[in-house]
Amino acid sequence: MTYEDALRAIDALKPGGMKWGLARMERILALCGRPERRLRCVHVAGTNGKGSTARMIQCILTAAGYRTGLYASPAVTGVRDTITIDGRPIPQQDFAALTEELLSHQGEMGEAGCLSEFELTTALAFLFFSRCPADICVIECGLGGRDDATNIIPAPLAAVLTPVSLDHTAILGGTVEEITRNKCGILKPPCAVITSPAQDRDALAVLMEQAALRGLTVRIPAVTGPLTEESLGWTAFDYDGMALSLPLTGGFQRENALTAVETVRALAPAGFPVEPEAIQNGLAGVSMPCRQEVLSRSPLILLDGAHNPQGVTALADTLRRHRLEGFTLVTGMLGDKDAARCVSLLAPFCRRAFCCTPDNPRALPAARFTEILHAVAPSLPVTAIDRPADALDAALAELEAAGRPGTGTAPKLLVAGSFYVAAALRPRLLKIYGK
């Protein structure tokens, strides 16, 4: 099987949609010799910030000299980038060989049934990490916790819960408390438990309760003092005697970084001590595509994949703090998101909007999204253009016109609302503006 064959085979699983429960993972991993049992893991769940936190943990552990695997989702810059060792994606030949191996067992799945796309890539990651082998692996939950495919792993060394908010309510529950209880399914004694200092109060109460029921204590970083420096693309702060910096935008990234710091500190008793220098160097080298990412400063182009009110609030806070407005917005969302609330948060910073339809079966149609945006921000000019690439073309034409001499307008572009849109348009923007 070639790499292209593997991609086609995985795409063929997408129509099956999401599947719940661990029966298929139990079966496929048993057929592969239980690779997950040979891994030492950090398990990360939450609603917002879990991808950033997981990447920061990997960067710190790599800086400390440990061979560190990371399995993260969704695929932002390509499917191979969801499975990395020390930041390097799984090689194409390994991806293809392991995909072929896993698919060869489909006929033996029996009553468990066929794997979903996410289950297959999760099993692929565990196989790859076990055969490299990785010293330690950071595993990001896809959705929820208790019934997520990644939760097939035995007790992790550390379980991390980033901020929880309302998202995927039809699946995980209609309240923050219900969603948190689901995500607490990753808590398995005798793991360390770490949560964000920005954790929702109701979520924290549930986490404390669920941890106590398992005989576990919860570690929460203390936020002390203001940021020492913040600009677009840079955040600096002090923590416990360390001067830390991140090449990332957004004050919320400090909370993610502190969660990562306390996580790696909690790993010392398990044989993974980390020195302050590794923490500083690891955080200074973090890269997070499509998380308030500045692709260009002239014109200003900002990409963000936040897709729920909590995540979009963080983006709006950044725009407000830096006094940024007058953006041309390219946006698209999935149909199960709170689109009205999200665009109401962004509309005050925009002068023009183009709604598109993400390339996903659950996408909110551009025409319907335009109606929603018009209802919450009737004075904002908005146009529906189905294909994201065409919406970007229209937006870039507006930017060019806005940047002409005599217009008095500094052109700005914001791509937001979904990783599916931001990730799809990022390569084109990189090609044009050459970051």
- 228/384: higher pLDDT: 384
Are 411 and 404 spatial neighbours (Cβ–Cβ below 8 Å)? no
pLDDT at 173 over 90: no
Amino acid at 173: G
Of 349 and 233, the one with more pLDDT: 349
Q: What would the pLDDT profile of 376-399 be if each residue is shown by its tens digit?
A: 999 999 999 999 999 999 999 988
Q: What is the pTM of this model?
A: 0.87
Residue 214 pLDDT greater than 90, yes or no? yes
Q: Exposure pattern of 294-328 as b/e (b: 16+ CB <10 Å)?
A: bbbeebbbbbbbbbbbbbbbbbbebbeeeebeebb
Please state, in angstroms and rounded to a whole number, the distance separating the CA atoms of residues 128 and 122: 10
Residue 406: pLDDT over 50:
no
Chain-wide mean pLDDT for the chain? 91
Q: Is the pLDDT of residue 246 over 50?
A: yes
Asked if the domains 3-284 and 293-433 are classified in one and the same CATH topology, the answer is no
As a CATH number, domain 3-284 is 3.40.1190.10
pLDDT at 140 over 80: yes
The angle at the Cα of 348, spanning 347 to 351, to the nearest 5 degrees, equals: 75
Residue that has been written with the tokens 């997520």 in this structure: 148
pLDDT > 70: percent of the chain: 96
pLDDT of res. 250: 72
By mean pLDDT, which of 2-6, 109-113, 219-223, 415-419 is the weakest?
109-113
Q: How far is CA 73 from the centre of its chain?
A: 6
Mode of pairing for the β-strands spanning 158-161 and 192-195 = parallel
In this prediction, residue 170 carries a pLDDT of 57
β-strand partners of 257: none
Ordered DSSP codes for 228-292: SEEETTEEEEEETTEEEEESS--THHHHHHHHHHHHHHHTGGGT----HHHHHHHHHT---TTSS
Domain 293-433, CATH: 3.90.190.20
User: In angstroms, rounded to a whole number, what is the distance separating the alpha carbons of residues 184 and 195?
Assistant: 11
Reported as a pLDDT band with limits 50, 70 and 90, residue 302 is very high
Q: Please state the domain extents for the chain.
A: 3-284, 293-433
Dist CA 369 CA 354 (whole Å): 10
Rounded CA-CA distance 73/51 in Å is 7
CA 101 vs. chain centroid, Å, equals 28
Q: Cα(5)–Cα(411) distance, rounded to whole angstroms? A: 42
How far apart, in whole angstroms, are the C-alpha atoms of residue 230 and residue 232? 7
